[in-house]
């Protein structure tokens, strides 16, 4: 009986200790939207993406012309010439698809450029969050713009503006997060950008 009571008391003390831990949350989407360098990086990526997309569309347009021309002339072509034209079309299609993969594949040029431009900014934000957690003795800092479900968020626990200030930026205007139901798993407040580099490079929870 004594042993059981000791276990129960120990469990209760551990529970009370965990409740006493300090925690807060940030909104990395809001933080990044108030960093001019991040906006510039996103604009650069958008322009590059459009340019490369047009380049690929042009190649596929040329292939379509080659194919239509071949179809209209194939009945008059000797077999040797038919084979040559078919091979040219197949080769052109392969080159266009290879270029598309090179530009927009998981480890393609756009993903590399995103990592080059955006990841350093996100790393700065993460480091600032980690520094705040250390200096303010937070056991946890959650990211309300990530995949974590936060059913209730008191705005007094939002330290996003503190992070911006630490990074040397002026906080912007944000919606009041108090008494807000948020479940990003169901898409009610999904982030507009999945920064960083193809994979999710955001560190969603900071633990001491």
Top mean-pLDDT range of 30-34, 61-65, 182-186: 61-65
Domain residue ranges in the chain: 21-37+116-207, 41-115
pLDDT exceeds 80 at position 60: yes
Nearest alpha carbon to residue 202 among 181, 178, 175, 191: 191
- Which of 26-40, 111-125, 130-144, 193-207 is least confident? 193-207
Of 185 and 141, the structure prediction assigns the larger pLDDT to 141
Asked if pLDDT for residue 167 goes beyond 50, the answer is yes
- Tell me the C-alpha distance between 7 and 114, whole Å: 52
Res 72 pLDDT > 50: yes
Percent of the chain with pLDDT over 70: 68
Phi, psi of 179 (to 5 degrees): 55, 40
pLDDT in tens, 188-208: 333 344 433 334 443 333 333
Strand partners, 142: 25, 205
Given the structure tokens 């000797």, which residue do they identify?
Answer: 78
User: What is the per-residue pLDDT for 186?
Assistant: 32
| Percentage with pLDDT > 90 across the chain | 42
Length of the chain, please?
208
Q: How confident is the model at residue 137 (pLDDT cuts 50, 70, 90)?
A: confident
| CB distance 145 to 189 below 8 Å | yes
Nearest to 41 by CA among 105, 110, 127, 103: 110
Report phi then psi at 207, rounded to 5: -120, 140
Task: Say what the pLDDT of residue 183 is.
Answer: 39
| 139 has pLDDT over 50 | yes
Q: What is the pTM of this model?
A: 0.62
For the chain, give the mean pLDDT: 76
Query: Which of 11-20, 97-106, 112-121, 171-180 is predicted with the least confidence, judged by mean pLDDT?
Result: 11-20
Choose the weakest-confidence range: 64-73, 130-139, 166-175: 166-175
């Amino acid at each position: 009986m004594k042993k059981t009571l000791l276990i129960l008391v120990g469990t209760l003390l551990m529970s009370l200790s965990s409740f006493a831990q300090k925690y807060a949350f940030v909104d990395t989407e809001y933080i990044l939207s108030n960093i001019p360098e991040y906006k510039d990086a996103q604009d650069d990526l958008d322009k590059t993406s459009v340019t490369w997309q047009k380049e690929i569309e042009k190649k596929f347009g040329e292939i379509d012309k080659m194919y239509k021309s071949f179809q209209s002339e194939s009945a008059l072509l000797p077999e040797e010439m038919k084979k040559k034209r078919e091979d040219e079309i197949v080769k052109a299609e392969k080159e266009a698809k290879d270029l598309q993969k090179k530009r927009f594949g998981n480890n393609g040029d756009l993903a590399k450029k995103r990592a080059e431009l955006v990841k350093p900014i996100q790393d700065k934000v993460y480091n600032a969050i980690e520094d705040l957690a250390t200096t303010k003795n937070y056991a946890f800092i959650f990211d309300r713009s990530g995949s974590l479900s936060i059913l209730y968020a008191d705005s007094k626990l939002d330290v996003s503006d503190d992070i911006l200030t630490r990074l040397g930026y002026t906080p912007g205007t944000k919606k009041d997060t108090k008494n807000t139901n948020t479940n990003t798993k169901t898409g009610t407040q999904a982030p507009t950008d999945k920064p960083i580099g193809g994979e999710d490079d955001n560190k969603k929870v900071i633990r001491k």
